[in-house]
Amino acid sequence: MRFTLDPELAQFESQVRDHLRSAMTPELVEQIHTTGVFHDYEFTRGLAEKGWYAADPAQGERMSPFQTQILIAELHRADAPMYLGETTRMVASVVRQVGTPFVQERVLDGAANGDVTIALGFSEPECGSDVAAASTRAVRDGDDWLINGSKMFTTNGHIADYVFLLARTDPEQPKHKGLTMFLVPTNSEGFDAQAVWTLSGERTNITFYSDLRISDQWRIGEVNAGWQTLLLALEDEHASGWGPHIARLLEHAERWAADTKDASGIARIDDPDVRRRLARAAIEVEVSSLLLSRCAWLEETGQRIEAEGPMSKLFSTEALERASQDFNEMVGPDALRSPFDPTAPENGQIQQIMRFSLGTTIYAGTSEVQRTIIAQRGLGLPR
């Protein structure tokens, strides 16, 4: 595998960074913080104009796995409003593989240019990470389906055009076998989204489906084969890396250490304990980057990503938690000041990233789920 970028990829990385420096305006950063919504249509259009928005356009030349990794890493590092674009890309890939011509015609082109957006409807209020225990029901009614139930953590569901919904279609079958996936238009009668605020201030949603009727043409994959359809999406979601957030946090910590002096007038960065903490985080940035690069390399060489994706996700999210808690302890009580508080070190980003980090070990499957996948697929252990 590659350990350094070749000149073409390095140039692409530089182009992405230049674009984000101009696109992530102070006004946009404040808007994201005050609303908790990580999506902005003007920002999205800017990415789409460069062919970067969905990172997997329905037509034309696809980005390479390494280009996609670079793009997503730089979006994370800039804390850009990119989550709805990522979920749209993920679902569009599934639609391309197993969606009906009806859905493909309505979704794929728009998903590539930002005109169509898709949120995820997997988790439920009583199920936690056990997605297969979904109780939201879809009952066949002629050529239609009637859907009743609710989904939790449907982030961006209040602004997305569609929700990629997992519903139970045969309660008599084992829980993994009686499920079906649908793409639900959010303008359907019977759909509602209510805000839920996370510890980091991000807005997610609980979404409700009350006698919501959709045509069978909105079904994605075979009836009662929803778990297999879902896995097509989760393979991509599990192969995520959060190292760029550690790198962003490290930049703030290094700048604070260089600019701050202790009671004796000595710069904090000259303190061996501070340097040890910074070095440990820098090492974990590098490990996180290499784990994610291995996933891109496997995809580029036509190999299947098995345990490698969960390894990347597990290590980088837990490393982000470790580093953020370590740096809050290093900075002390002042680290707890909020963003946009003029007295807050590094504009409050050290504590903001710590609050954000706690959710990352849950997103896309908890650390326990990731360890189970690694044990089964990587080590061949029994269930």
Euclidean distance between CA atoms 48 and 54, whole angstroms: 8
User: Which residue matches tokens 């530089």?
Assistant: 14
User: Which residue matches tokens 């034309």?
Assistant: 60
Residues 142, 196: contact at Cβ < 8 Å? no
Paired residues of 193 in beta bridges = 207
Strands 118-121 and 162-168, bridge-based pairing: parallel
Residues 73, 66: contact at Cβ < 8 Å? no
Euclidean distance between CA atoms 120 and 94, whole angstroms: 12
**Amino acid (1-letter code) at residue 34:** T
Q: Could you confirm whether 42 is annotated as catalytic?
A: no
Residues 230, 179: contact at Cβ < 8 Å? yes
Euclidean distance between CA atoms 103 and 217, whole angstroms: 7
Sequence-distant (≥ 6) Cβ neighbours of residue 303 within 8 angstroms:
none
* Residue among 13, 235, 237, 300 flagged as catalytic: 237
List the Cα angle 218/222/224 in 5-degree steps: 105
Euclidean distance between CA atoms 380 and 294, whole angstroms: 20
Q: E strands within the chain?
A: 118-121, 137-141, 144-151, 162-168, 179-185, 191-197, 203-215, 219-220
- Residues carrying an active site annotation: 237
